[in-house]
């Protein structure tokens, strides 16, 4: 029973960076901008966050630095795709490649540097609950923030006027423009928020989760976050579940090994990716699921003059 | 270090497929930053030019770092008689051959490549340049002017096992493993045998992460092992993540490849460190005085190439004495890591009483010894 609680705890913790990054990308995509640069953005933020954590010893300053770095990278991306109307796919890939190279370059002196470690937050009273105490209430604050963020994004998108405008721009930027909304500025704001959230996720990985900096340490999690937005059909709550599911499958394979269950390690390593493919296939089988929720202008450039 | 980058790329390929983004070629493309050149000693009349090819960055605190320390020590010994160049972060693949040829073109007369995956590139270039001498770490192909060298790293794992066996309270050790190849399986077994030599009740849990280097995944594996009851960890992966995960949970772990004590002052029990300097000094010397000839070198504790260094101050003196005794035994040959009677995890005898395993046996090992839980993933 206790092992199971620990597995749940590990799942929440592994799913958190995915959820935060994917939530940022979801906001981007709801505004009609597809940012394939997530992986590179996270790497730049991871190195920035780690550098600040190493200098200041303050993990929240590090997260802020990660958010700032993520926003800066996506500012470049946003300017390119929103004002210069470059192809979103190609630009995103370029940003991703740039980010992984750039982070490796600036991070050379940080490789292998030790970081003072922070203990996970344990909520008083709740931490002593049977099962749930271990499973849920002894996590890093970021885990709870990610849950709150999910609620916040859902509320924003579906219960506020600003959220409605954002979604309208994702559906039909021309109509929103005709109504007088500053489409480009709002898209840029969405891109910046998205980049900042990817940045927080990257900094969380290098400062709290692992914590160390090495080249390419995000190890594909940016791409998984991108897949998660499709997986969740652009719905915040599904996104959080998807992130936990993905984190859970990864942890499960290690859990089974550590428990001495006979499984082929190579097969188990494939599982998270198989699960992604499977879900993508299932979703694609029902076009309505995607069409209903997919922002209609996703990935398309917008020219206000036309 | 076998197959390191190849497998990494396979995994990346799978990832790209899974996310439907095959075209991005995630980490393949970013070219390594311009290879840094080592500061060379001031030019004197025709110093011997020596080149090194590293698979990782010299600052990885692990495998490549250890090689570079060895290079520096050998340079210090021979002073202005030699001048060295190194190229770091060379991917194992077609690029490697180009780098080797570059080093030849620059006039290097002795060239070291420090990862298994450089083997075929080295063989090819060695054939084309009989006037240059080549040295390849952890490989097995030799020619007239290409020789191989390797460390008996499992001896270090065995010594770590002695400390682990005495330190563990739960009698459960954890091992974060990379790929099920003989090199890694051998280390798992040696670690377990070392622990059993001082504590027969010890068992070892293994988690395979299918990567040489994925710090978040190494962290997760370490956490799962600790959740599963392991309180002393060793890893055959290249980052310091496992050590740091143990530090966070108040458990114990070891450094690997080089001294990692700085990364986890409370968790660090000792580091299985590689001292390549002894070999590089010998090789430089032979190339300088003309006695260089092709051969296969496998050195361990006896030759001071493998050591358990920086054993923590809090490790009791009697445990330290046990380590010293085993070290002395490995040096004078009275202790052998793999010596019969030895049973595998299924209970089958794999070495008869008093038989000491030879290199062929150790090179083909694909089973766990008794006390390791589970089965090697690649075995039938």
Return the percent helix, strand and coil in chain A, to nearest 5. 75, 0, 25
Q: Is B374's CB within 8 Å of A6's CB?
A: no
The answer to whether B247 contacts chain A (CB < 8 Å) is yes
Of A39, A114, A221, the CB nearest to B262: A114
Of A101, A115, A264, the CB nearest to B377: A264
The string over A206-239, giving b where at least 16 C-beta atoms fall within 10 Å of a residue's C-beta and e elsewhere, is: bbbbbbbbbbbbbbbbbbbbbbbbbbbbbbbebb
The answer to whether A231 contacts chain B (CB < 8 Å) is no
The answer to whether B261 contacts chain A (CB < 8 Å) is no
Element (H, E) at B331: helix B317-332
Nearest CA distance, B162 vs chain A (angstrom): 22
Looking at A74-83, A107-116, A153-162, B262-271, which range is the least confident one?
A107-116
On average, the pLDDT of chain A sits at: 88
> Hey, which residues does B172 pair with through a beta bridge?
B203
Supply the DSSP string of A71-110, one letter for each residue.
HHHHHHHHIIIIIS---HHHHHHHHHHHHHHHHHHHTGGG
Please determine, for residue A203, whether its predicted confidence score (pLDDT) is greater than 90. yes
The answer to whether A187 contacts chain B (CB < 8 Å) is no
Q: Which of residues 95-114 of A touch B (CB under 8 A)?
A: 96-97, 100-101, 104-105, 108-109, 111-112, 114
pLDDT attached to residue B229: 92
CB contacts < 8 A, A to B, total: 159
Chain A neighbors of B210, CB-CB under 8 A: 265-266, 269
Nearest CA distance, A237 vs chain B (angstrom): 21
Please determine, for residue A288, whether its predicted confidence score (pLDDT) is greater than 60. yes
Within chain B, which residues score under 70 in pLDDT?
A: 1-45, 378-380
pLDDT attached to residue B125: 95
The separation between the first and the last C-alpha atoms of chain A, rounded to the nearest angstrom, is 62
The long-range contacts involving B276-280, CB below 8 angstroms and separated by at least 24 positions, are B276/B66, B276/B67, B276/B69, B276/B70, B276/B71, B276/B151, B276/B305, B277/B69, B277/B70, B277/B73, B277/B74, B278/B70, B278/B303, B278/B304, B278/B305, B279/B70, B279/B149, B279/B305, B280/B70, B280/B71, B280/B73, B280/B74, B280/B112
Segment A186-210 shows an average pLDDT of 95
pLDDT attached to residue A92: 95
Task: Report helix, strand or coil for B256.
Answer: strand
pLDDT attached to residue A117: 59
Q: Which of residues 32-51 of A touch B (CB under 8 A)?
A: 36, 39
User: Of B38 and A264, which is predicted with more confidence?
Assistant: A264
User: Of A292 and B376, which is predicted with more confidence?
Assistant: B376
B308 in Cβ contact with B320 (< 8 Å): no
pLDDT band at residue A183 under the 50/70/90 scheme: very high
Nearest CA distance, A183 vs chain B (angstrom): 28
Q: Which of residues 149-178 of B touch A (CB under 8 A)?
A: 174
Chain A neighbors of B345, CB-CB under 8 A: none
Chain A neighbors of B231, CB-CB under 8 A: none
pLDDT attached to residue B45: 58
Angle at A106 between CA A105 and CA A107, to 5 degrees: 90
Which residues neighbour B26 within 8 Å (Cβ) at sequence distance 6 or greater? Answer: A39, A96, A100, A220, A223, B12, B15, B16
Chain A neighbors of B11, CB-CB under 8 A: 269
Nearest CA distance, A249 vs chain B (angstrom): 12
Segment A18-25 shows an average pLDDT of 97
B308 phi/psi in degrees, rounded to 5: -100, 110
Please determine, for residue A59, whether its predicted confidence score (pLDDT) is greater than 70. yes
pLDDT attached to residue B97: 93
Q: Is B217's CB within 8 Å of A219's CB?
A: yes
Q: Is B61's CB within 8 Å of A112's CB?
A: yes
Q: What is the pTM of this model?
A: 0.79
Nearest CA distance, A116 vs chain B (angstrom): 9
| Most confident listed range (A152-156, A262-266, B336-340) | A152-156
The residue of A37, A219, A225, A269 whose CB has the most chain B CBs within 10 angstroms, and thus the best one to mutate to test that interface, is A219
Segment A259-284 shows an average pLDDT of 73
pLDDT attached to residue A57: 86
Segment A139-146 shows an average pLDDT of 91
């Amino acid at each position: 029973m206790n092992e199971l609680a620990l597995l749940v705890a590990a799942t929440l913790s592994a799913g958190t960076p995915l959820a935060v990054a994917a939530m940022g990308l979801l906001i981007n995509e709801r505004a009609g901008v597809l940012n394939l640069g997530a992986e590179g953005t996270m790497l730049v933020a991871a190195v920035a966050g780690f550098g600040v954590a190493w200098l200041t010893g303050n993990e929240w300053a590090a997260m802020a630095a990660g958010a700032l770095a993520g926003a800066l990278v996506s500012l470049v991306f946003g300017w390119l795709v929103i004002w210069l109307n470059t192809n979103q796919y190609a630009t995103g890939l370029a940003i991703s490649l740039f980010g992984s190279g750039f982070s490796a370059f600036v991070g050379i002196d940080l490789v292998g540097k030790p970081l003072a470690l922070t203990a996970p937050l344990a909520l008083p009273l709740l931490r002593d609950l049977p099962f749930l105490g271990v499973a849920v209430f002894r996590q890093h604050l970021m885990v709870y923030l990610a849950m709150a963020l999910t609620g916040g994004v859902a509320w924003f998108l579906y219960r506020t006027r600003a959220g409605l405008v954002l979604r309208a721009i994702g559906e039909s930027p021309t109509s929103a423009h005709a109504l007088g909304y500053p489409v480009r500025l709002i898209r840029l704001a969405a891109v910046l928020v998205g980049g900042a959230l990817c940045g927080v996720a990257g900094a969380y990985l290098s400062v709290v989760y692992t914590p160390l900096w090495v080249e390419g340490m995000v190890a594909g999690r940016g791409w998984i976050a991108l897949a998660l937005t499709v997986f969740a059909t652009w719905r915040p709550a599904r996104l959080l579940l998807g992130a936990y599911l993905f984190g859970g499958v990864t942890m499960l394979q290690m859990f089974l090994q550590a428990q001495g269950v006979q499984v082929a390690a190579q097969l188990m390593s494939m599982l998270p990716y198989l699960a992604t493919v499977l879900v993508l296939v299932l979703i694609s089988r029902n076009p309505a699921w995607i069409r209903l929720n997919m922002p209609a202008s996703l990935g398309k450039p917008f020219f206000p003059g036309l | 270090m076998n197959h390191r980058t190849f497998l990494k790329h396979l995994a990346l390929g799978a990832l790209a497929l899974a996310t439907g983004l095959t075209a991005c070629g995630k980490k393949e493309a970013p070219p390594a930053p311009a290879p840094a050149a080592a500061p060379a000693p001031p030019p004197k009349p025709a110093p011997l030019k020596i080149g090194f090819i590293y698979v990782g960055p010299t600052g990885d605190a692990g495998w490549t770092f250890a090689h570079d320390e060895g290079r520096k020590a050998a340079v210090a010994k021979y002073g202005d008689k030699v001048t060295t160049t190194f190229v770091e972060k060379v991917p194992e693949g077609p690029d490697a051959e180009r780098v080797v040829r570059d080093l030849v073109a620059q006039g290097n007369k002795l060239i070291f490549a420090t990862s298994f995956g450089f083997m075929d590139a080295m063989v090819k270039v060695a054939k084309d340049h009989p006037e240059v001498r080549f040295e390849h770490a952890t490989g097995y192909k030799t020619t007239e002017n290409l020789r191989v060298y390797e460390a008996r790293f499992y001896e270090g794992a065995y010594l770590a096992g002695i400390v682990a066996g005495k330190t563990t309270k739960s009698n459960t050790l954890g091992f974060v493993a990379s790929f099920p190849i003989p090199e890694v399986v051998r280390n798992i077994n040696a670690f377990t045998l070392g622990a059993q030599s001082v504590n027969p009740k010890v068992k070892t849990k293994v988690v395979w992460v299918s990567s040489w280097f994925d710090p978040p995944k190494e962290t997760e594996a370490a956490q799962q092992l600790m959740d599963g009851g392991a309180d002393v960890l060793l890893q055959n992966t290249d980052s310091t993540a496992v050590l740091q995960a143990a530090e966070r949970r108040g458990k114990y772990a070891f450094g690997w490849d080089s001294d990692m004590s700085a990364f986890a002052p409370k968790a660090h029990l000792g580091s299985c460190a590689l001292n390549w300097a002894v070999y590089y000094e010998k090789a430089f010397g032979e190339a300088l005085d003309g006695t260089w000839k092709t051969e296969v070198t496998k050195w361990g504790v006896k030759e001071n190439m493998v050591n358990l260094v920086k054993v923590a101050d809090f490790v009791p003196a009697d445990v330290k004495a046990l380590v010293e005794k085993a070290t002395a035994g490995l040096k004078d040959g009275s202790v052998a890591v793999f010596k019969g009677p030895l049973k595998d995890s299924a209970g089958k005898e794999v070495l008869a009483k008093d038989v000491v395993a030879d290199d062929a046996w150790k090179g083909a090992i694909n089973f766990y010894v008794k006390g390791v839980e589970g089965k090697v993933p690649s075995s039938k």
